[in-house]
Structure 1
Amino acid sequence: MVEVEGNSVLALIIVFSASIILFFYYYYCYYYHIYEHHGKNIPPGSLGFPVIGESWSFVKAQREDKGSEWIEKRVAMHGTVFKTSLMGCPTVVVTGRTGNKFVFSADDESLSVKQPPSIAMLVGKYNVLELTGPRYKHVKSVVMRFLKPEAIQEYIDPMNSIMKNTLNSLKVKDSVLIVPLMKRLTFNITCSLLFGLHDEPTNDALFEDFSHLFKGLWSVPLNLPGTAFRRALHARSNIVQRVTPILKSRRKKIIEEVVNANSDMLSGLITRLSDEEIIDNFVALMVASHDTTAILLTLMVWKLARDPQIYQKVSQEQSAIIKERQEKTNGKLTWSEIQKMKYTWRVAQEIMRMIPPVFGNFRKAMKDINFAGYDIPKGWQVFWEVTQTHMNNGIFENATSFDPSRFENSSRSIQTFTYIPFGAGSRMCLGNEFARVEALTVMHHLVTNFEWSQLIPDEPITRNPMPYPSKGLPIKLKVKETSDML
């Protein structure tokens, strides 16, 4: 009798759940296909399942580093402009140089930088990456005070010190996992130099929180137990709880003139924004400033391990810098020396072309707009992506071949809106110069002190949501005889 009742309850639950799903499905079909689409020339494509859309297949393709194939499959079916549904919102995907130009040339009144609601919940709606108009200009002006070349030059000595400590910890090891090393290294640099955070236990806790938040950014936005999105929401809450007392203490020190308001970006934001705005920008800038650079550094180590010829050329350039320095003075790495690392940076540029840290990103239509003869309704997302230009043989000759010389001189100029690892237009990444200097500083110290080889030669690349070697890139280290470690 109990079993029958239990089965009846189970059946009722199944019927009720199915009814709810069908309700949302029919509502979805009615609203988007009948009402919203009526009389409009919407791009071809599929909106997928209710609410979830095609997010499952999109995220799965990203994790298998097959995002470009996911795009190409739909381009083959529907053309260079197609519709789908990602992160809970109907989306128009635009590809190629024309699509990039459309996105990066649009004004905020037509195509805003607003992210999907799920990402905004994690990063915060008041961060500089989403702001528009006068408020964007105000916050950007504060942030750029600490990212302009004059400020970045002052970061080189502290970066040298952080790298020396890292190298000294590595010299006693035979092997190391590069992914966690680079994530932690760039996180420490960002905490210390940009935000003036030097308390190790607090930074350790924040590092764990941000690790969970990163994984939830491009996950399927289901706030259910056990999901990456739920863990990311919890991590966001932890970050707010940890940063709030720091803001209170820092504000008090600024008022008492113990800390200069211009000493770091966090202090600069405190004097000009509310706590909610500061936290949103802290989260956004931390996401933007350290994880993408960690990716680039990881992939440079990965590439140099796989290509001895590239390693040798980078090593020769870096060794020449040390030799010239010793002939003049026995000092530390300088700004002028970083400007001489032209080949090393070309290697970085080619890596970002072939394996871009950011696969693409979202904009939001603020009004009904038109592109390539298609209507994009107000409120829909627009997604731009990089592979359709980065890996296009018509733009980059032999696109699948690794060739740093593509970036060698201005006479072989690359068309605008075709090479976009940092975006383009007025919304280009604010910290691209900081990232360049940080990456070159770290690689200088690594290459001049170590040789290395992969312990898993066939280790694949995966995206979660950024591209990393799937096993963490374990490498075998060998200290060079000419090492300059302390």
Structure 2
Amino acid sequence: MDVGLLGLLQLSIESQPVLLAAVPAIVGILFGGYYMFKTFSFHGKRLPPGSLGLPLFGESISFLKAQKHDKTQEWVETRIRSYGPIFKTSLMGKPTVVITGTAGNRFIFSDNDNAIMSNQPSTVSSIMGKYNTFELTGHNHKLLRSAMASFLKPESLQRYVRDMDSLIKQQIFQEFNGKESVMIVPFMKRITFNVACALLFRLPYGKELDSLFEDLTIALKGMWSLHLNFPTTSFYRAMAARRRIFEYFSKLIEERRKLSEGNASSENDAISSLLNLRDENGEELSEDMLVDNIMTLIIGSHDTSTILLTQFVRHLARDKMFYDYILEEEKKILREKEGTDERLTWNDIQKMKYTWRVAQELMRITPPVFGNFKRAITDTSFGGFHIPKGWQVFWVSSGTHMDEHIFPQPEKFDPSRFEPTSKSYPPYSYIPFGGGPHVCPGSEFARMEVLLIVHHLVTNYEWSEVIPNEPISRDPLPYPAMGLPIKLYVKSKEEICT
């Protein structure tokens, strides 16, 4: 049963008034049957405790409301207190098992493709496309993931550092020059998008890139909305944006193919790398598969960085001590570079150890991705509970990130947790980028980008929040609700050099 059936019921009401009296009974039978099926069709199997919520909608409305107000952790913890670390619910129209804890993360992120596979909500798969790497299995999934991992590995990324540093420095100066205040969220979204497009995809600046940015923003907003495909809804607008994105990249792919004729070994960017791939039959990848995975790469290559950078700016505005510690580390790097090429290098980035520990702690407390969906492709079990084939499995990072047995005083901001001499945390307990064989292939690109941007911010500026204690809102990702406006103070040359 889906929204289309509700639409048919509505049409029947409008066109045939005589059926009005029967509608409550019809709806009751349909919803009752749905609920009975979801609840009792696995008689004899030990399903996890929990509630499937309302027929059709399940607990999606309360879940999305919690997301909107950054209360998802409380939403999960309330159910853990009632049912334990493994519980059932119904989200995005499907029965779902929520799994928390280190053992649960290991189960989710281990190479367990025979039982559990990636599975985005229907809104996500519709907008990103059914051939994106999260939806694929088998040969094509491994082919695409291997290509992305190879292109984004540290040895490959090192060639981008100087160009990335110059681009970031230029973009910050252009945006901040002559201004007393800046809206950080839109700025960080744009700078990370521009960096990814310029270095990973070689996309030209101009009106088309501006339109692509706007469409990707619209598409992202619709991914975790309700699957309601009619005008005025977020999902409807997102699908319209996807069609425009598809058209843009289809045209680009055609142009790149013409340029690469006679030069099949060219791998200057991510798009060229994907164009050179061949499926198990030796054929080029389809246009749909190429576009879906280019779109996936662009979204993935800038959103995590944007969230982390926004949290960085927000936290350093509130805590001068951490700002000063980071500033001293960055100034030391500048002093060591006196008389040489001013652009930062790969070796310089490796010296930003304390800065990255602050980043790690920010991602522990406010992970860019709170959780995500997978799907049982066969009957399986975990923790003594049956997980039926076809059910969603949802993992959440807070289950370990905020566990006092893993991270003592989890509410306290403490970057020293990640010092080499500190007590190590168990595998699969810290998962801002996933874990095991399913760790995000773009994590190193994100680290490089974040560290370069933070370096140029703290060495050139100080800032304060315009809106003290601005709350976080997830729509669907965690951003300050008002866009994080800040007041700027530009440092003099003497301040930068001393």
Task: Find the counterpart in structure 2 of residue 79 from structure 1.
Answer: 84
Q: Secondary structure of the residue that 2:151 maps to in structure 1?
A: coil
Q: Secondary structure of the residue that 2:337 maps to in structure 1?
A: helix
1:104 aligns with 2:104: no
* Contact 1:111 1:363 (C-alpha < 8 Å) held by counterparts: yes
In the aligned structure 2, how far is the partner of 1:152 from the partner of 1:17? 61
> For 1:315-373, what per-residue CA distance to the aligned partner results, in whole angstroms no more than 9, with x for missing partners?
111111101111x5143111101000000000000000001110001110011111111
In the aligned structure 1, how far is the partner of 2:404 from the partner of 2:359? 20
Q: In angstroms, what is the RMSD of aligned CA positions?
A: 2.0
Q: Secondary structure of the residue that 1:329 maps to in structure 2?
A: coil
Q: Secondary structure of the residue that 1:154 maps to in structure 2?
A: helix
Which residues of 2 match residues 159-174 of structure 1 at below 5 A? 159-169=164-174, 170-174=176-180
Task: Find the counterpart in structure 2 of residue 456 from structure 1.
Answer: 467
Task: Find the counterpart in structure 1 of residue 69 from structure 2.
Answer: 64
In the aligned structure 2, how far is the partner of 1:287 from the partner of 1:8? 42
1:415 aligns with 2:421: no
1:373 aligns with 2:380: no
1:307 aligns with 2:319: yes
**TM-score for both structures, normalised by structure 2:** 0.92
In the aligned structure 1, how far is the partner of 2:422 from the partner of 2:172? 39
Given the alignment, which residue of 240, 244, 248 partners 1:238?
244
Task: Find the counterpart in structure 2 of residue 284 from structure 1.
Answer: 296
* Contact 2:69 2:473 (C-alpha < 8 Å) held by counterparts: yes
Task: Find the counterpart in structure 1 of residue 159 from structure 2.
Answer: 154
**TM-score for both structures, normalised by structure 1:** 0.94
* Contact 1:354 1:400 (C-alpha < 8 Å) held by counterparts: yes
Given the alignment, which residue of 37, 40, 62 partners 1:34?
40
* Contact 1:146 1:194 (C-alpha < 8 Å) held by counterparts: no
In the aligned structure 1, how far is the partner of 2:208 from the partner of 2:14? 52
- Residue 42 of structure 1 and its aligned partner are, at CA, apart by 1.0
> For 1:358-407, what per-residue CA distance to the aligned partner results, in whole angstroms no more than 9, with x for missing partners?
00011100111111111110000000001121111111111110000000
1:360 aligns with 2:371: yes
Given the alignment, which residue of 320, 325, 332 partners 2:337?
325
Q: List runs of 5+ in structure 1 lacking aligned partners.
A: 1-6
In the aligned structure 2, how far is the partner of 1:254 from the partner of 1:381? 42
Task: Find the counterpart in structure 2 of residue 4 from structure 1.
Answer: none
Q: Structure 1 stretch 62-71 or stretch 120-129: which is displaced more?
A: 120-129
1:396 aligns with 2:401: no
Q: Structure 1 stretch 38-47 or stretch 290-299: which is displaced more?
A: 38-47
- Residue 106 of structure 1 and its aligned partner are, at CA, apart by 5.0
- Residue 201 of structure 1 and its aligned partner are, at CA, apart by 1.3
Q: Secondary structure of the residue that 1:412 maps to in structure 2?
A: coil
> For 1:297-325, what per-residue CA distance to the aligned partner results, in whole angstroms no more than 9, with x for missing partners?
01000000010001010111111110111
> For 1:198-223, what per-residue CA distance to the aligned partner results, in whole angstroms no more than 9, with x for missing partners?
14211111111110111111112222
Task: Find the counterpart in structure 2 of residue 341 from structure 1.
Answer: 352
Q: Secondary structure of the residue that 1:453 maps to in structure 2?
A: strand
Closer, same or farther: CA 13–210 of 1 in aligned 2, 3 Å: farther
**Post-superposition, which runs of at least 4 consecutive aligned residues in structure 1 deviate over 3 A?**
7-21
Task: Find the counterpart in structure 2 of residue 3 from structure 1.
Answer: none
One-letter amino acid of the counterpart of residue 491, structure 2? K
One-letter amino acid of the counterpart of residue 461, structure 2? F
Q: List runs of 5+ in structure 2 lacking aligned partners.
A: 1-12, 278-284
In the aligned structure 1, how far is the partner of 2:356 from the partner of 2:217? 27
Given the alignment, which residue of 210, 214, 217 partners 1:211?
217
- Residue 144 of structure 1 and its aligned partner are, at CA, apart by 2.3
Number of residues paired by the alignment? 476
In the aligned structure 1, how far is the partner of 2:434 from the partner of 2:25? 44
1:470 aligns with 2:485: no
